[in-house]
Structure 1
């Protein structure tokens, strides 16, 4: 029986993207849970071999306005406390961090567009090693603290906490490794107001996406492939 990857999706256009092919090549069957529509329970998350929690334009602090967030965080808490393989992307990483007991809060600024990471010493020896000098897509304004017992893996000048890992099973990424050029156009349309509000030109992001596509595709495959290798060895 093939292993299952359960994917928690918050908005339709933020899906697995480049990560889907890697997971299917490694034998995973993929199923989505739509946050805010499908019930997300601890039992369901615990039953999956692998869980991926994707991004979205809301934040951990919005649970009073988006009440599905509280049971979602509770389900993720059960998953991470059981130390079951879990990957969080942007909001997903923030939800993991909250589930692991640390603060997640707005920074008062945003980081939108492609720029490289600086890997920490721990990050340089981690599954993120292949991202050295590779610009990745950032689209966030909130930031998580690093959970107790986890390693801080990467930073940028405005956001010092870009990734964390707690052992081989728990990996949180603030940036969007999953986005391919076809997805970027949908992001630009969906976030037109936010781009205008911050005086950001969609033409620059689009051009960067097209130019970087081959490197980003290789990098995404390399990181997720290396992570799955670690899971299989552990």
Structure 2
């Protein structure tokens, strides 16, 4: 089963303060590899931000038989998103995804792991992934504290971000902590060109409706917020989180070889 995107360079939008070249003036940008874990999953705001920068999306679902490339030579970068499964599950596709992360690490290509994807990255780097020792979860909006390294990388972090997880991970050896939290101390980290976020800046309004309806059982767990607080939190924190994500994605994708060449030519 394949759900790969076949449309390139849609929705190219100008960003304030930056010159915009017509797509026809440049060779097509390479796609960004998108790894999803459910039939109905979407890349949400991360996909929107990448498309706005002119990058097509190569969407694959290894859980349903899609293969992952042996190299990222034909991709600008890769993103592994979240899902209801655990990075500790014995399923073949989970183990294959964790092993595959060695490809962007070896080739020094931009990689981003979100929630489950961050846990997979941490596991690939040798860190432990486990539930909270008191069984607590983060489901809703929770505070994060960017470190000095996080501020230097990307300013204007939101005070609270959206979460939906029951497991966390240690900071991998040699990785740089970018943001920390309370019940789950490691919220964002960097290892070379690879980044991991425990939180979900990718969630759209429609996704929040689906998650809080279909995943309502998770909201009975210790530490979870009731459904109405998810939408109250979004009304307060979403504008800043959305702007922060756009800035992060723009800087993250510039780490790709093609983007670096284009930037050097400007």
**Shared topology, TM-score over 0.5?**
yes
TM-score, normalised by the number of residues in structure 2: 0.78
Choose 91-100 or 38-47, whichever is displaced more.
Answer: 38-47
Matched, 1:183 2:207: yes
The correspondence for 1:62, drawn from 89, 112, 120, is: 89
1:130 aligns with 2:163: no
1:153 paired residue number: 178
Q: Which moved more, 1:101-110 or 1:90-99?
A: 101-110
2:229 maps to 204
Q: 2:250 aligns with which of 214, 218, 225?
A: 225
Question: What is the root-mean-square deviation of aligned Cα atoms in Å?
Answer: 2.1
Aligned to 1:15: 42
**What is the CA distance between 1:70 and its match in structure 2?**
1.3
Tell me if structure 2 keeps the 8 A contact 1:8–1:32: yes
Unaligned stretches of 5+ residues in structure 1:
none
- Cross-structure match for 2:57: 30
Alignment coverage as a number of residue pairs: 229
SS for the counterpart of 2:206 is helix
**Any unmatched runs of 5+ in structure 2?**
1-27, 262-266
Between the aligned partners of 2:152 and 2:194, the Cα distance in structure 1 is: 16
Q: Whose radius of gyration is greater, 1 or 2? A: 2
Contact preservation (8 Å) 2:136, 2:221: no
Q: What is the match of residue 79 of structure 1?
A: 104
| Partner Cα separation in structure 2 for residue 160 and residue 197 of structure 1 | 19
TM (normalized to structure 1)? 0.88
Does structure 1 residue 192 correspond to structure 2 residue 219?
A: no
Bigger fraction of residues in helix? 1
Aligned: 1:116 with 2:132: no
